[in-house]
Amino acid sequence: MKLAWAASLMVLSVAGQAVTKVNLRDSLTYVWIAPGSFTMGCPRGDNAGDTDCFDWEDKPHQVTIRKGFWIGQTEVTQEAYQRMIGSNPSMYRGPHLPVDQIGWDDARKYCEAAGMRLPTEEQWEYAARGGSAAPRYGDLDAIAWYDSNSGDQTHEVGRKQANGFGLFDMIGNMWEWVDAAHGDASGGADKKILRGGSFFNLARDLRVSNRLWATPDTRHRNMGVRCAGD
């Protein structure tokens, strides 16, 4: 575990297995995710209510995360984005709301400015599951903002229940850009992946295995970012 992670960070707390740090560049909290293995993807034939798999989701396969990593406890806020980039492109305004209307390149540049990077798709899903093998890490209304409870807008980060790793809004609130390209026939390698679903999506969309893709310059009101680090 890299507790001495650059001079730009300081230890905020160590409680049991949870280790968090505040990045002094963007003032956001990051959580240490230990190495481990998990089943990534959506099990085919799972027809329990709204947990049906979409065709574009990964089929179940075993993934091993061999190196631990840091990931944002919350989505990047508008306050943090303004601090690092000097502008705020968001449609919905508020310092503790997630930044929205950013493209993949915007997300990457922010993370780099904060001394971080975009998470890989495997890291994102491993972190999102929080140790759970279920399609969601808790009751949907308790953990996520989505079309039935969001009022068609974003909400302040960290207001819903966290997952087993202490991460908030891993599903719902904002789609989050990751460091992955979508290369199948329907998308093309020029398109980048987003994960997590958003305030705009239906309940069925809100699962840790679901995916979305768009060109890197796409900027939508439900697209944001969560950074990671080594």
- 4 within 8 A of 22, measured Cβ to Cβ: no
Q: How far apart are CA 228 and CA 230, in angstroms?
A: 7
Q: Which residues contact 83 (CB under 8 A, 6 or more apart)?
A: 26, 27
pLDDT tens-digit map of 145-162: 999 999 999 999 999 999
Among 208, 203, 81, CA closest to 147: 203
pLDDT tens-digit map of 129-149: 999 999 999 999 999 999 999
pLDDT tens-digit map of 174-207: 999 999 987 644 444 589 999 999 999 999 999 9
End-to-end CA distance of the chain: 10
pTM above 0.85, yes or no: yes
pLDDT tens-digit map of 10-69: 455 554 467 999 999 999 999 999 999 999 998 765 444 445 788 888 788 899 999 999
Q: What is the spatial order of strands in the sheet that 191-195 belongs to?
A: 211-214, 191-195, 175-182, 223-225
